[in-house]
Amino acid sequence: MLSSLAGKPAPHEELIDVASLISDYYECQPDCSSADQKVSFGTSGHRGSAFSNSFNEAHVLAITQAVCEYKKKMGYDGALYIGKDTHALSTPAQISAVRVCAANGIFVCIAKDEIYTPTPLVSFAILEHNKHNKERADGIIITPSHNPPQDGGFKYNPPNGGPADTDVTSAIEKRANEILQNKLEDVVLVSYEEALQSKYVSAYDFITPYVEALCEIIDFKVIKNAKFRLAADPLGGSSIQVYEKIKEYYHLDMEIIHPYADFTFSFMTLDHDGKIRMDCSSPYAMASLLKLKDRYDLAFANDTDADRHGIVTPKGGLINPNHYLSVAIWYLFTHRKNFTKDLKVGKTLVSSSMIDRVCANLGIDVYEVPVGFKWFADGLSEGWLGFAGEESAGASFLRNDASVWTTDKDGIIMTLLSAEIMAVTGKDIADIYAEFEAEFGKSYYERIDAPASLEQKKILKNLDAESLNIQILGGEKIEKIFTKASGNGASIGGVKIVTQNGWVAMRPSGTEDIYKIYAESFLSKEHLKQIQTEAQNLIKELVG
């Protein structure tokens, strides 16, 4: 249900008490008998809040100790690159992690001057290190992504530079919970001062190498020659200083909106549910930038760790993420000489089927996987995925020479690519997508979220096709029912039902107490609504 406060400035009473949050991080202890207070790696790491005893120092100490042990077991003897975003809990969590790493004799690289580091820059640093060194580096990114200000998050990226696969996170999660259960007896610690003075902690410049290499993946000359007036909104996140460096290095006419960190994120407009959420794909969270769209030729935003993108054009307003993914794929495979038909396009099974239609027209194979960017890391690293994206506005792609750039989502290259596309084509992103609709049909796509208990999420996650007594969806005969992705055969943690002109996917969230219904119709809004209603009724029958 849409909140009456959606799209409106955050009222004072909605702002978090930062001092209390950080106090709870250090003082409160999780109850290991409570499932929602244990370590739990969802689709993108462990997330929680100190207010609910689900992201406290105990969690970070336990997870970091488990990562150190895993790193040693696997023989990853290179540096551990650690990045953090601008959530209030991220700096305390980085301090806790560094204390454990140094005590375990793990060499770590943290950002010089204690500045914030976006997710893609950590991925980039890992890959660059491993390109030139025998010692395998990996990384930790401390971020809950676009989640509300009270949340914290912790992700581990192995040497392939992308989010860790399920077998890795399961092992780390299991060991971390054992450590919690044993009251942290197995955690090795030194003071933060000792850690910083030790040989194990180094200050690293994440920003300069990344920014200077951007010309290998983005055509800045054509952007500059177009004389675009640009606006970049980091949403108070970790990309602030990255955009400042990009503006300076490539001499762009670009204004940076909200160029400061505010732990309460008081400048945000509220999301659909009345919560503060730095979701750059939400028209409600992006309402303030949308008001400015006519001042610029192009405006864009990233979430707090800059792994997601939001594109705002004068004609299209906030471009639907699925629409932009389709446009980006078309552009790259028609304007990059090294993006040949041998490369595949990676998409999650809940992304729009418009991508499939565009790719089919270009003669490109689609590699469809479950939700989670981790499924794309090896394909990007090995160079057989030219582009990989997911409906939640996250993507990455290869450099101009078809070599790897990042294997985690990179919202920064996606925003900059939109400027290149408009400069080269002379068209608004919305106009290019309208051409797709004229050729391939109009897509009606929507995601619905609903509250779900842990038990309901468990039932939905473990569904099998045989348990669904259904032959018709939206008035059409069902062609396929998937519980495993067609690309890699991995479990989708839910179910996807496909008909000739529509589909629906139902899965529990890996990070919030909700389930999600994704649906698409190529017939009408009414047909989409029919699919959604039937899916909701089916879920009620299955999980109560």
Q: For residue 537, name the pLDDT band (cuts at 50, 70, 90).
A: confident
Give the mean pLDDT of 235-253. 98
Domain assignment present for 369: no
Residue 306: its pLDDT value, please? 98
pTM of the entire predicted model: 0.95
Are 288 and 271 spatial neighbours (Cβ–Cβ below 8 Å)?
no
Question: Residue 477 above 90 pLDDT?
Answer: yes
Place of tokens 């006419």: 253
User: Residue 272, Cα to own-chain centre: how many angstroms?
Assistant: 19
Q: What is the pLDDT of residue 510?
A: 67
- Give the 3-state secondary structure of 430-467: HHHHHHHHHHHCCCEEEEEEEECCHHHHHHHHCCCHHH
Q: Quick check: is 126 in a domain? A: yes
Do the beta carbons of residue 312 and residue 290 sit within 8 Å? yes
Where residue 462 falls among pLDDT bands split at 50, 70, 90?
A: confident
Asked about 145 being catalytic, the answer comes back as: yes
In a domain, 271, yes or no: no
Tens-digit pLDDT profile for residues 61-81: 999 999 999 999 999 999 999
Domain holding 498: CATH number?
3.30.310.50
Number of independent structural domains in the chain: 2
Q: Which residue has the tokens 């010692």?
A: 135
Does residue 254 sit within a domain? no
pLDDT attached to residue 316:
95
| The pLDDT of residue 488 is above 80 | yes
Write out the H or E segment, with its range, that includes residue 494. strand 491-498
Q: How far apart are the first and last CA of the chain?
A: 19
Among candidate residues 185, 209, 233, the one where a domain is terminated = 209
In a domain, 31, yes or no: yes
What is the C-alpha to C-alpha distance for residues 306 and 473, in angstroms, rounded to an integer?
37
25-66 tens-digit pLDDT: 999 999 999 989 999 998 779 999 999 999 999 999 999 999
Distance CA 430, CA 434 (A): 6
For the chain, what is the total number of helices (H) and then of strands (E)?
Answer: 17, 23
Residue ending a domain, choose from 209, 233, 253: 209
Tell me the average pLDDT across 328-343.
97
Residue 197 belongs to what domain range?
Answer: 17-209
**Domain containing residue 142: CATH number:** 3.40.120.10
Query: Per residue in 98-134, pLDDT tens?
Result: 999 999 999 999 999 989 999 999 999 999 999 999 9
**Residue 43 in domain:** yes
Q: Average pLDDT for residues 444-459, to the nearest whole number?
A: 84
Q: Which contacts (CB < 8 Å, 24+ apart) does range 492-500 have?
A: 492/349, 492/370, 492/371, 493/370, 493/371, 493/461, 494/460, 494/461, 494/463, 495/463, 495/465, 495/468, 496/349, 496/350, 497/468, 497/470, 497/473, 497/535, 499/473, 499/474, 500/476
Catalytic residue among 49, 54, 96, 145: 145
pLDDT higher than threshold 80 for residue 511:
no
Is the separation of the CB atoms in 38 and 32 below 8 Å? yes
Residue 542 confidence (pLDDT): 79
407 located within any domain: no
pLDDT above 90: percentage of residues in the chain = 88
Final residue in a domain of this structure, among 162, 187, 209: 209
Phi-psi region of 377 (alpha: psi -120 to 50; beta: other; left: phi over 0): alpha
Paired tokens of 116: 């914030």
* Structural domain includes residue 510: yes
